[in-house]
Structure 1
Amino acid sequence: MHFSIASLLANFSNDKLVATKALEKKLNCTSDAQLQDLSIAIDALERIGVLEKDRGKYRRTYEEDVIEGKLRCSSKGFCFAIQDEEEADDIYVREAHLNHAWNGDRVLVKVTKEGNRRRSPEGEVQLILERANSSVLARIKESEGDKSLQAVPLDDRLLFQLELKNQDSDDLNQADLQAAIDYLVHVEILRYPIGQHLPQGKVAQILGSDAEAAADIDIVYCKHDLPRAFPEEVMMAAKALPNRVRKADIKKRIDLRDQLTVSIDADAAQVIDDALSLEQLDDGNWLLGIHVADVSYYVPHNSPIDQEAYRRGTSIYLADSPVPLLPPPLSTSLCALLADKERLTISVMTILSPEGDVLAYEVQPSVICNDCQINYHQAQAILARDDTDALEELSFEEHDLTEFEDCFELIDQLFEVSELLQQQRNQRGSFDLNLPDHVFPEEAGEELFQYLSSKFQHDDEGGLG
């Protein structure tokens, strides 16, 4: 199924009746197979008493002795269902009562024995709401009987083995697996256990004979189930996107293309998704514009790109191997605020007093053109451009900054306003802790230090920086 039972049940609240058509829309079930999966899931939930049918619609039912929790298992086979409420009891679940649930799964557990001061309450898994593992890091083993190949997870809290079902048409066939017995592999789960049948999986990648032989980056990808590519339907949807801002896209947006705009990011920033503008008004107040790439304009709710982004949650950066939240061209150009490129944005336009107080603000869809794309070091050099010694210390010469001359005044003004805002923070009780610059051991290498901040900031409104 392309949805979990947890996401299905999340649509039921406050004892309200929900129609099947509404569930189809919320879960984006469009194909015949998806509609059939939804129908089967609803019927099963009704049979076990989780849903109740009333006048052709459904409502969620609750029992006092059924709790929801996340399984935490040990290598010895016993597990606990951890409830979300901190003070709630953990429910002990014996291996025989897991009913094919695995470590990390979200489950409904029926309490079968009340607890006391010395023992936790006991229970049995009634329903698996959401699976935690769609793939596993495992080692290939050959069964002694029929010589079939199985995958044994390296995580000893995963109390199962998988039958390997690689076909000749797959990138890795049975002959490849025979040559990789006892090797570390990344296994994609094709089918979870049913009755007495073992779960089935397919080897997606052979990593090496042991952990030392396998590439660290590959192990990280496999252990945390990170996607290496976007599904075909997502790439097809991305290819259908425009490669530039069109006239029709600008309608009903405030046009800020004539306003001088700058983006300031880290040297190695892989995504430029925000920019700043600043203008001093006739009354002495400041008009500060904070512009963020308007991704939502290109990604409709529940579209294939939206669903994939929901599954990924965030972009992940593994050295030189980023795992982007969005496919190209969204992540690389269309929603990247590159220099001299028109881009659609959401702008927060804020009026600040000469003292830095917020007087008014509004949020508007907009279109901008980023005039200057600079990094932190370049910004610092621009601020110190009249100080030869400071420029030398920053390893800059005056001619290095020539291309940014149009933005000199804007950078100066942004720095002035930032000082005003810092004063506001100080008046609220903000404080700085000067922490050591480097917390990595010396052998980690200087390149890691760029990811650290030497200051911790806090103010009495709970803001951290």
Structure 2
Amino acid sequence: MKETILNFYKSIYPNTYHIEDAAMDCHIRGGKELDTFIEAGRELCKEGNLQFIRRDVYAYNDDHEDVVGIYKGYRKSFGFVITGPDEEDVYIAEYNKGTAMHNDKVRVRIIKSKDSRHKREGVITSVLERANETVVGTYDRQRNFGFVIPDDERLGTDIFVDLQHTLDARSGAKVLVKIMKWPDGDKKPEGMIIEVLGYKGDIGLDINCIMAEHHIPFSFPENVIKASKHIDMTIHDDSNRWDLRHIPMVTIDGEDAKDLDDAVSGRKLDNGNYELGVHIADVSHYVESQKAIDKEAYDRGTSVYLVDRVIPMLPESLSNGICSLNAGEDRYAMTCMMEINQAGKVVDYHIQPSIIHVNRRCSYKEVYKALAEDIIPEDLLPLMPMLKDLACIAENLRAMRYRRGALDFDFPEYKVLLDHDGTPLRIVKRERTLAERLIEECMLIANETVATHLKNTHRPSVYRIHEVPSDEKMELFQKVLNYLGQNIRLNGETLEPRQFQYILDTVKGTDIEQVTQIMTLRSMQQAKYSTDNVGHFGLASTCYTHFTSPIRRYPDLMVHRLLKADMNWRNGYSKRDTTAEFLVRAAEHSSLKEQDAVSAERDTVDLKKTQYMVPFIGEVFEGTISSITSFGMFVELENGIDGLVHMSMMTDDYYFYDEEHFVLVGKRTGKIYRLGETVTVTLVKADVEKRQIDFVLGEVDNLMKIQEEMNISSSYVSKREKNPLGRTSSSKQLKRRGRKSNSGKSSGRKSRKISTKCNAVGKSKHKKGKKRKR
């Protein structure tokens, strides 16, 4: 019907016509058919295809703009379409979203906005790509049918489930539903339950829901497990491999790491240079290209490190077994042996499959104590000369990278310790000591050396790239610098990492150091994998890749195969692994899987952070304003936990957002809230379901009244989805003080900081593997 109307008005353009006259010319009869025709004409006018002349009189609209983007639903009443990093979002009213659901790819017709707050407003005319093939939610069973109510309210609709497709789930079950029919007009989407995740009170259910939401698998398929059992676990002598079992080497990892994929060796040479050996597990020897284990590893893309568990990329018999460089056992490896001069430059290198024998497993903690405090276990004494040489190598490499202009963000990290039932007990700060820096420098230089080697082969390769910040982000960051009182000009045409390094050095030790670091990080692009080597801006590197973690990252496995193909090694790769077509597709896929993993990791931390804060509702804290937006400001506590002070709850004045200076200003009083400012807040809400924490400024006399007044669910805009200056990912984790009882009374209490001391309530039984990323 719409197509008929549109074709008619196109044929008479630029003339106008009454919709009923158009119906007569189109041979539409009266009654219900006429009503449908008239309603379709009104919808075309609303969509911008027809121009409104006067009541029921239209003309074809030849001047309209269509754009394509991703629909983001913020509440059931509205949403936005994100069309590009440098373009204004398009506001979508509820009645203009059609059948679009959160994260769908859509086509939008730009229309004249009726609201001055929105620069661009639109109507979704078609859904190009559906994003939500599966949805996590709560099953609500009725007598003859049921519904799944999505956990993510932004989806905006329940999903109808016929009783034949419920897997016998009971009402109240958390389920994963697969959508079989998409919404059509007023009809809800229809689906079938494909997995029952659990019921309220089940241990780990909250994390299971996040895993299902991000499509993270719970187990390996049977064919993968079967294939892993048929792998030859014996290390055979091989004359083609570089036999390095006589060279002293160690692994240095976290105390609870199980997948040990890198070992290091080092010594000083007679010519004054150093020899650094980085020995990486030869995963490609065991994971045969395009077979069951490889296909599953490709699909997963990466290991996922959740707050209470690790979801490995490879089966445990590989990741924690034959591929793990366990001390005292022979292992196949890929070795990158480098000669590095005192200036930190690699003057020679050799890359070859090898056989190694790790002498000792070391932890970061004991290596730090051995090097910095001279507290050395007896069995580590014979290896101390090598560790000291490695420390010198790392220092030379760090100095080289600094001279080059590389950025070094040293944000504090926190680890959430959980009870056996998943309850957060305490949060401990993870220090980045010289031991962590030592391994980091060794891995960075190995990645650079391998990347340069692959580039010089002039064959298609995979690189880890970090592009130059966009002009828009630079303009935004320049404004922040000016606001912070730093009269530093960033030259967009000749932008270099050392300009950012200079900024960070300038504010070091000042009260704006943390804010500047955060805003610098937010101005950066996101690192990703690509076959196009554009360099790594943050590392000030012209050529960089990921080579050092093939147990937990598929791109590293791809790089190992490329190395073997270049040296015509007899196995470990196939012809497909070297083709540009596959590498382009695999690099893009790996980047997307990495983003999914990061989102899942962040969501589990946010969940436990919110759970942790529930007992402290009503208590008063001191915090720092870490972000300011058009709807409020985020306040970060001393322990790394942050929450929103919504503008609607700032009742002492009417505040508006001064976008030019990134401040909130009171219209009547002139009161200004700035980034980095210390404020007193009361915790009024910790919504575990939504993983959101909310504060109000100052102390609260009547907590219950405030909570009743708050309607965060209807006025809250997600800090991750719509936050011009806010964080798009929560890189900081948690630090817990000892748990105290909460009486719910806050009146008369003095504001205070959370104690940095942690009470040893109990030890977490959940182990977490190592995690190194740049």
Shared fold per TM-score greater than 0.5: yes
- Aligned partner letter, 1:407: L
Q: Per-residue CA shift, 1:70-104, capped at 9, x if unaligned?
A: 221233264443224422654848667655x5312
Instruction: Report the CA distance shift for 1:342/1:132 in structure 2 as closer, same or farther (over 3 A).
Output: farther
Matches within 5 A, 1:41-52: none
Task: Specify the SS of the correspondent of 2:121.
Answer: coil
Which of 414, 425, 446 aligns to 2:390? It is 414
Which residue in the other structure is 2:86 paired with? 86
Which residue in the other structure is 2:121 paired with? 120
Separation in 2, partners of 1:296, 1:366: 13
Which residue in the other structure is 1:239 paired with? 229
Matches within 5 A, 1:424-439: 424-425=400-401, 427-428=403-404
Instruction: Report the CA distance shift for 1:132/1:200 in structure 2 as closer, same or farther (over 3 A).
Output: closer
Instruction: Report the CA distance shift for 1:123/1:315 in structure 2 as closer, same or farther (over 3 A).
Output: same
Separation in 2, partners of 1:265, 1:355: 27
Which residue in the other structure is 1:284 paired with? 272
Which of 424, 440, 451 aligns to 2:430? It is 451
Separation in 2, partners of 1:445, 1:187: 26
- Aligned partner letter, 1:462: G
Which of 538, 552, 561 aligns to 1:462? It is 538
Matched, 1:262 2:250: yes
- Asked if structure 2 preserves the Cα contact closer than 8 Å seen for 1:190 and 1:200, the reply is yes
- Aligned partner letter, 2:198: L
Which residue in the other structure is 1:154 paired with? 151
Which residue in the other structure is 2:175 paired with? 186
Matched, 1:324 2:312: yes
Which residue in the other structure is 2:302 paired with? 314
Separation in 1, partners of 2:236, 2:84: 47
Matched, 1:217 2:217: no
What 5-or-longer segments of structure 2 have no aligned partner? 1-63, 417-422, 438-496, 502-536, 541-773
- Asked if structure 2 preserves the Cα contact closer than 8 Å seen for 1:81 and 1:93, the reply is no
Separation in 2, partners of 1:335, 1:206: 32
Which residue in the other structure is 2:668 paired with? none
Aligned-pair distance for 1:135?
3.6
Instruction: Report the CA distance shift for 1:164/1:305 in structure 2 as closer, same or farther (over 3 A).
Output: farther
Instruction: Report the CA distance shift for 1:298/1:204 in structure 2 as closer, same or farther (over 3 A).
Output: same
Separation in 1, partners of 2:268, 2:148: 66
Matches within 5 A, 1:29-428: 68-76=68-76, 78-87=78-87, 90=90, 92=92, 98-99=98-99, 101-105=100-104, 107=105, 109=107, 111-113=108-110, 118-128=119-129, 131-136=131-136, 138-143=137-142, 147-164=144-161, 173-174=167-168, 177=169, 180-181=170-171, 183-189=172-178, 191-193=180-182, 198-202=189-193, 204-205=195-196, 207-209=198-200, 215-247=205-237, 250=238, 252-383=240-371, 391=375, 400-402=377-379, 404-425=380-401, 427-428=403-404
Separation in 2, partners of 1:434, 1:152: 42
Aligned-pair distance for 1:431?
8.7
Which residue in the other structure is 2:468 paired with? none
Aligned-pair distance for 1:216?
4.0
Aligned-pair distance for 1:281?
3.0
- Asked if structure 1 preserves the Cα contact closer than 8 Å seen for 2:89 and 2:120, the reply is no
Task: Specify the SS of the correspondent of 1:230.
Answer: coil
- Asked if structure 1 preserves the Cα contact closer than 8 Å seen for 2:233 and 2:322, the reply is yes
Instruction: Compare CA radii of gyration and give the structure with the larger one.
Output: 2
- Aligned partner letter, 1:291: H
Task: Specify the SS of the correspondent of 2:224.
Answer: helix
Q: Per-residue CA shift, 1:295-344, capped at 9, x if unaligned?
A: 23333444443343344333223344221122222211122111122223
Task: Specify the SS of the correspondent of 2:207.
Answer: helix
Aligned-pair distance for 1:187?
1.5
- Asked if structure 1 preserves the Cα contact closer than 8 Å seen for 2:223 and 2:292, the reply is yes
Instruction: Report the CA distance shift for 1:373/1:462 in structure 2 as closer, same or farther (over 3 A).
Output: same
Which residue in the other structure is 1:30 paired with? none
What 5-or-longer segments of structure 1 have no aligned partner? 1-63, 392-397
Task: Specify the SS of the correspondent of 1:277.
Answer: strand
- Aligned partner letter, 1:380: Y
Separation in 2, partners of 1:254, 1:432: 35
What percentage of residue pairs aligned between the two structures are identical?
Answer: 25
Separation in 1, partners of 2:71, 2:288: 34
Q: Per-residue CA shift, 1:98-140, capped at 9, x if unaligned?
A: 55x53123x252x445668854343423421x6345341x222
- Asked if structure 2 preserves the Cα contact closer than 8 Å seen for 1:139 and 1:153, the reply is yes
Asked which structure has the greater RCO (Cα within 8 Å, sep 6+), the reply is 2
Separation in 1, partners of 2:140, 2:226: 38
Aligned-pair distance for 1:154?
2.4
Separation in 2, partners of 1:369, 1:240: 24
Q: Per-residue CA shift, 1:4-45, capped at 9, x if unaligned?
A: xxxxxxxxxxxxxxxxxxxxxxxxxxxxxxxxxxxxxxxxxx
Normalising by structure 2, we get a TM-score of 0.41
